[in-house]
Structure formats: structure tokens, C-alpha cells
Amino acid sequence: MILHKSVLLKESIDSLNIKDNGIYVDCTLGYAGHSSEILKRIPNGHLYAFDQDEYARNYSRDKLSLISDNFTIIASNFANIKEELVKEGIEKVDGILFDLGVSSVQLDYDDRGFSFHKDAKLDMRMDTSSDFSAYDVVNSYSYNDLVRIFRDYGEEKYASSIAKKIIEYRNNKSIETTLELVDIIKSGMPVKAMRDSHPARRVFQAIRIEVNKELEVLEIALKDSLDILNVGGRIAVITFHSLEDKIVKKIFKEYSEVDSKIAKLPYIPEEYLPKYQIIEKGIVPSKEELEENNRSRSSRLRVIEKIKDW
């Protein structure tokens, strides 16, 4: 049995304002925590759920089937939301959920290579059919590229010295495993920097983002998702680090505000008013949820609604 706790479950599902005959999309199916709750609320509707992970799809198909048959699982990256839904005959939907980041199950399974606590081959692929993995990043990227991703995607203060240690190490042999990489990361950091959190946390985050192109696909998917919403439809996004949250905040702000070029005019014609309004600017987990699920500690929920079509 999979033990996976969905983060901000009640808050995110409630925020979608679900109609029992609506069309909804879970862009991050995972182990069907959020999808199950959506499906329970749409006896006359339909759920479309995306996931690249074959194991997650198979598990969740069985779990959702116990609730109803009103669902379709799509084996694709959510960056393809528009084209994949068109294949299903769907052009507009009533709500979309994104629960970003790595599931607790992916972290807990040793062979996926996401965890810096367990020894495994360097992998970190969300899509296990992909031939590009963490091994390729660590063993083939130049010094400059390693510094860039550690700094930009991991916000790692010691990006330069860690990248230097990686280059030095792989001059003698390739880096094969997660704990091998953890030791190299530690060698590139001062002892005082290891006190507050695990020294490999930021670098592992950066490599995972690079392997799966997470930030690029998020921006594409969010803009396409906004485009396919029905009036009254909502998008709820749960983020787990500041880089994701900045992208969501920026796009939601851009779509829900009047163009700055005309914002100060005494009268703004109706057709220039925004089509979207922000519903939630950043819900965080309750004290109770934090006590029950430590992995929810950095999560934040943002919600936007489409208010007109023209």
C-alpha cells in the first residue's frame, strides 16, 4: 500500500469550487490524493489526469476505479495539456490543479535517485522512459553550466566550489550514485553551511529541475491552462520552492491586472479589463498539517479564476 499524504488537500480542492458536472484536470496525478477527492465530487463530470510516471499511473488507475469510471489518465507531461485534451475532444475545462514537486513516494523509493538520504544510481527522471538523467548532468555538464544550474535552480551559495569539486572528482572516475555525489557536495562546502539543513538539498533540487525541465514546462502549461478555462473556472497551484512560486505569482499577476500602459487612464474600456482575478495569493499549511506531514512545510497554494471571455 502506498503511504502518501497530499499537501493542502482540503484547501486546494475547496478552492476549485467544483461543479458536479464539470470537466477537471489534475496535471500532477501522482498517487491520486487530489484526483480522488475531485472525482468524488463530479458524479456527472469527468477528470483528466496527467502523469509521466508509469508506476504512479498504474497505481492511481486502480485507486480511482474504486470511486467511479469518470476519469481518463494521460501519459504525458502537463506541458502538453492543450494538445492532449484536444485529442480527447476537450477544448475548455472548469478547473485545473497543479501539485508541483516530487511525491513522497518518489523520494522514498531508493531506485529513483531523488533522495540525498538513500544510496541509488543518479537518476531523478519523472519520465522513466527518458534517456536523460541526473547522471548526464553531473558527468557531462561543463563547470559553467553546473554553476549556473546550482545557482539559478538551487539558489546554492557555494555553487562555484561544489561545481569545481565535481569536475575534479570526475577527472578520475564518473560519479555513479547519490551518496557519492553527496560526499562531493560536502567537500565543496564549509562546515558551518551544513548545520541548518542537509548540505545536498539545494544541489539535488537544482539537478532535478534541470533533468525534468520543470520551470520551463510550468510556464508553458500555466499559460495554456489559463487559455482553456471556462468562465468561472479556476486554476489551483501548489508550489514547494520559491522558483516555482515566483513563476506562478508572475503569470497570475500578468493575467489579472490591467496593462500598465493604460492602467492610469481615467476610464478603461471593458474590453481592456482583465479576464482573470486572483482568488488566493498564498495559502500555507495549517499547524496541524505541518505536525502531521513535515514535507508540507514549504508548500504554498495560489488560485486564479477566469471571470470573462472577452
30-76 tens-digit pLDDT: 999 999 999 999 999 999 999 998 889 999 999 999 999 999 999 99
Integer Cα distance of 53 and 2 in angstroms: 15
Q: For 81-106, what is each residue's pLDDT tens digit? A: 999 999 999 999 999 999 996 765 55
- Which residue in this structure is represented by grid cell 493604460? 262
> What's the total number of domains in the chain?
2
Integer Cα distance of 300 and 89 in angstroms: 32
**pLDDT value at 293 more than 70:** yes
Q: In the sheet where 300-306 sits, what is the strand order?
A: 71-74, 46-50, 23-26, 93-99, 229-239, 300-306, 276-283
**pLDDT value at 77 more than 80:** yes
Integer Cα distance of 110 and 116 in angstroms: 10
Q: Is residue 38 located within the same domain as residue 186?
A: no
Residue 77 burial (CB count, 10 A):
21
Q: Is residue 140 located within the same domain as residue 188?
A: yes
Q: For 209-229, what is each residue's pLDDT tens digit? A: 999 999 999 999 999 999 999
Residue 181 grid cell: 555525489
Q: Whole-number mean pLDDT of the chain?
A: 94
Half-sphere exposure of 112 (CA within 13 A, CB side): 23
Confidence of residue 233 (pLDDT cuts 50, 70, 90): very high
Question: In degrees, to the nearest 5, what angle opens at C-alpha 47 toward C-alphas 11 and 243?
Answer: 50
Q: Is residue 22 located within the same domain as residue 142?
A: no
The DSSP 8-state label assigned to residue 70 in this structure reads: -
Q: Which amino acid is at 242?
A: S
For residue 45, the domain's CATH number is 3.40.50.150
**pLDDT value at position 197?**
85
Q: Is residue 97 located within the same domain as residue 16?
A: yes
Position 147 in a domain? yes
Q: Is residue 29 located within the same domain as residue 146?
A: no
**pLDDT value at position 264?**
87
Confidence of residue 259 (pLDDT cuts 50, 70, 90): confident
Q: Which of 6-15, 219-228, 263-272 has the lowest mean pLDDT?
A: 263-272
> Can you give the pTM of this predicted structure?
0.91
Q: Is residue 16 located within the same domain as residue 60?
A: yes
Position 82 in a domain? yes
Q: Is residue 114 located within the same domain as residue 101?
A: no
CA distances from 59 to 51, 72, 105, 153 (A): 11, 14, 12, 31
Position 1 in a domain? no
**pLDDT value at position 108?**
55
Half-sphere exposure of 216 (CA within 13 A, CB side): 7
Of 212, 229, 246, the residue that ends a domain is 212
Of 212, 227, 242, the residue that ends a domain is 212
Half-sphere exposure of 235 (CA within 13 A, CB side): 29
Q: Is residue 74 located within the same domain as residue 121?
A: no
Position 71 in a domain? yes
Q: For 159-177, what is each residue's pLDDT tens digit? A: 999 999 999 999 999 999 9
Range of the domain at 259: 9-105+214-306
**pLDDT value at 207 more than 80:** yes
**pLDDT value at 118 more than 70:** yes
Position 56 in a domain? yes
For residue 114, the domain's CATH number is 1.10.150.170
**pLDDT value at position 106?**
58
